[in-house]
């Protein structure tokens, strides 16, 4: 006898959990979430830098992030939200001109972005004492900031569970069955049920890497204790993030995304090396013209850089000292003399699920009567989570988006490059 779910959400990361909470808040019952890694050991939202901003160049990304940041701001203590701003440095005059042009769009939506001529950057941010050498201008977004992604996801989950949502840990989809739906000449398919496998062994922190093998190759180790079950569903939602292609392949939907590794280093800087007028813990995120980004994290500095030649794939290996010494330290020291003697503490790697236009995918899946998706937000899942959850829940419940119109993020936009939501303000 198959289990039954009114709504079956595949993927319990920050997006899937937000969608589950938002649906339950609408009074919808019978919601189940299945995920292989509810602890979030390999979740993109748990492995990111914690920066959240509404400063983007595409209206839908601005609106979704602004609504989410407003939500974080209202619960700042719970979520560890710190409104410290984003400073974005420009060295190319053409990019600086575009930033000034986009500032009008951003401020029309209430972001209050400031334009700083090059001569104002160093006096205002004395840490950046070498910014005078090549920076032509900067923007500062005071309403952006930093957040604790784990706290946000935990809140979504606890609220969803309080409203009756059931979460199944260590479950992954082994198969999907579809059936022809009545109407439209029988051409529309429905997802009728999913076969899911429960892996009883393989702790995410196990040194043998059991769970990691499943995550990266979608195989069950031969010594794993597993149980397969079937869940019938009325509605299915794909929120698998970097693993969205796994479900899409099972239902014959063309995948347009690529999982790409992003590495982050934790760095120690001696207080005596900092300018006397600099309080490191008062700074927000700084995005350098080189593509480096960094912000204070307690008594440390957290810094990341996306290597341009990074090959797509499910890779969680951190390159350690070589990454720090090749990609991070030279860029830090080039911008601030205080980083000449900084020390590498440790680091980690996570995944972006990158789309061709570097914007997410959300909405109903064409050709299916009951399949929806919200994934591949290319590094901004945390900062769009509230708006995506609320808006997609409205679409499922009423057929219309609420909160934020996510229709520009529909999958079928990739059939027409003129409809792409190309996001250039991307790190």
List the structure tokens of 65. Answer: 């992030």
Q: Return the number of other C-beta atoms located less than 10 Å from residue 118's C-beta.
A: 18
Q: In terms of Cα–Cα distance, which of 77, 53, 76 is closest to 66? A: 53
Per residue of the chain (427 residues), give pLDDT as tens. Answer: 369 999 999 999 999 999 999 999 999 999 999 999 898 888 888 888 889 999 999 999 999 999 999 999 999 999 999 999 999 999 999 999 999 999 999 999 999 999 999 999 999 999 999 888 799 999 999 999 999 999 999 999 999 999 999 999 989 899 999 998 665 555 689 999 999 988 865 454 455 555 556 556 656 566 666 788 899 999 999 999 999 999 999 999 999 999 999 999 999 998 777 887 787 878 999 999 999 999 998 889 999 999 999 999 999 999 999 999 999 999 999 999 999 989 999 999 999 999 999 999 999 999 999 999 999 998 899 999 999 999 999 999 999 999 899 999 999 999 999 999 999 888 8
Sketch out the chain's domains with CATH numbers: 3-46+150-256+357-419 (3.50.50.60), 83-145+259-354 (3.30.9.10)
pTM comes to 0.93
Helix-helix angle 149-162:14-25, to 10 degrees: 30
């Amino acid at each position: 006898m198959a289990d039954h779910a009114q709504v079956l959400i595949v993927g319990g990361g920050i997006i899937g959990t937000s969608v589950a909470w938002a649906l339950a808040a609408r009074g919808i019952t019978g919601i189940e979430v299945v995920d292989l890694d509810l602890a979030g050991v390999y979740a993109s939202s748990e492995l990111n830098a914690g920066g959240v901003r509404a400063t983007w160049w595409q209206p839908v990304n601005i609106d979704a992030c602004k609504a989410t940041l407003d939500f974080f701001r209202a619960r700042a203590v719970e979520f560890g939200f710190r409104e410290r701003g984003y400073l974005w440095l420009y060295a190319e005059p053409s990019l600086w001109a575009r930033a000034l042009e986009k500032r009008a769009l951003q401020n029309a939506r209430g972001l209050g972005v400031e334009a700083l001529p090059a001569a104002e950057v160093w006096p205002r941010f004395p840490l950046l004492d070498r910014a005078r050498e090549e920076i032509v201008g900067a923007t500062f977004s005071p309403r952006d900031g930093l957040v604790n992604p784990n706290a946000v996801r935990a809140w979504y989950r606890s609220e969803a569970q309080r409203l009756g949502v059931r979460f199944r840990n260590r479950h992954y989809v082994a198969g999907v069955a579809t059936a022809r739906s009545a109407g439209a000449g029988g051409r529309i398919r429905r997802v009728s049920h999913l076969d899911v496998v429960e892996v009883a062994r393989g702790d995410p922190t196990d040194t043998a890497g059991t769970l990691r093998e499943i995550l990266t190759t979608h195989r069950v180790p031969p010594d794993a204790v597993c149980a397969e079950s079937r869940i019938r569903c009325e509605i299915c939602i794909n929120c698998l993030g970097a693993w969205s292609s796994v479900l899409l392949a099972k239902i014959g939907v063309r995948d347009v995304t690529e999982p790409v590794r992003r590495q982050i280093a934790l760095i120690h800087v001696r207080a005596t090396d900092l300018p006397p007028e600099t309080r490191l813990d008062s700074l927000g995120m700084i995005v350098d013209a080189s593509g480096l980004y960094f912000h204070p994290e307690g008594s440390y500095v957290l810094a990341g850089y996306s290597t341009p030649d990074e090959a797509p794939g499910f890779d969680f290996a951190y390159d350690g000292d070589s990454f720090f010494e090749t990609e991070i330290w030279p860029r830090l020291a080039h911008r601030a003399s205080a980083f000449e003697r900084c020390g590498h503490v440790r680091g980690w790697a996570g995944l972006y699920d990158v789309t061709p236009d570097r914007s997410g995918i959300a909405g109903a899946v064409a050709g299916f009567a009951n399949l929806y998706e919200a994934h591949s937000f290319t590094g901004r899942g945390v900062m769009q989570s509230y708006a995506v959850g609320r808006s997609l829940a409205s679409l499922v419940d009423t057929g219309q988006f609420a909160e934020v119109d996510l229709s520009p993020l529909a999958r079928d936009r990739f059939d027409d490059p003129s409809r792409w939501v190309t996001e250039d303000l991307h790190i």
